[in-house]
Amino acid sequence: MVDTGSSCSILPLRFSSNKPQLSNISLYAVNQSPIKTYGQTSLTLDLALRRNFKWNFVIADLPHTILGADFLHHYSLMVDVRRQRLVDTTTSLSTPACESTAAILSPSFFVTATSYQFHTLLASFPELTDLSFKPTQTVHSTQHFITTTGLPVFSRPSKLAPDRLKKARAAFEHMLSSSVLYAFF
């Protein structure tokens, strides 16, 4: 099952060939209930897109295999819901998909890992992940204004010195290669 709301890719415990031992990887469903995990395993997938996809899956106590947003992002795959297909944006190839019968249950499989930097902060505000979408009333009368006068501040762009340009390019290349920064062109 492809789940763009899942932050990591999951392999059900029943598909693991190793003896199950609980792992220290912590996963939580959208309702904040813990999901038992049993380590990681590496698999190579053939999705009929003329290339193989090698990925590390978290082994968890879930009924379905999940290709999460981490996998889709890494391999530049796009879910085309309207045409029911998975599109490889690198090669422009696509493979047909079908709606899952478990689609009704999918919110219970949204996964976030506690190792992520903001998990504890997000957990302290459960209304942010609540799926009921109830509008809330403002409980204060504070309004914020930024008063501006005159023309906006403006400065013409100028070229960087060659040595600074070289350092800036190296820094951007490093951020792109370490997935800190993503190119959208």
Please report the pLDDT score of residue 105 as a whole number: 40
pTM of the full structure: 0.54
Please report the pLDDT score of residue 167 as a whole number: 94
Tell whether the torsion through CA atoms of 162, 166, 167 and 171 is positive or negative: positive
In which element (H, E) is residue 41 found? strand 37-46
Please report the pLDDT score of residue 118 as a whole number: 63
Please report the pLDDT score of residue 2 as a whole number: 81
Please report the pLDDT score of residue 134 as a whole number: 57
Domain ranges in the chain? 10-96
Q: Which residues contact 103 (CB under 8 A, 6 or more apart)?
A: none
pLDDT tens string, the chain, 185 residues long: the values are: 787 777 788 888 888 777 777 887 778 777 777 888 888 888 888 888 888 899 888 888 888 888 888 888 889 899 888 888 889 999 989 888 877 665 444 433 344 444 455 666 777 777 766 655 556 677 888 888 888 888 888 888 889 999 999 999 998 888 887 777 777 65
Give the other-Cβ count within 10 Å of 90's Cβ. Answer: 11
How many contiguous H segments (helices) and E segments (strands) does the chain have? Answer: 3, 9
Please report the pLDDT score of residue 129 as a whole number: 64
Q: How far is CA 48 from the centre of its chain?
A: 23
Give bridge partners of residue 28 from the DSSP assignment: 34, 112
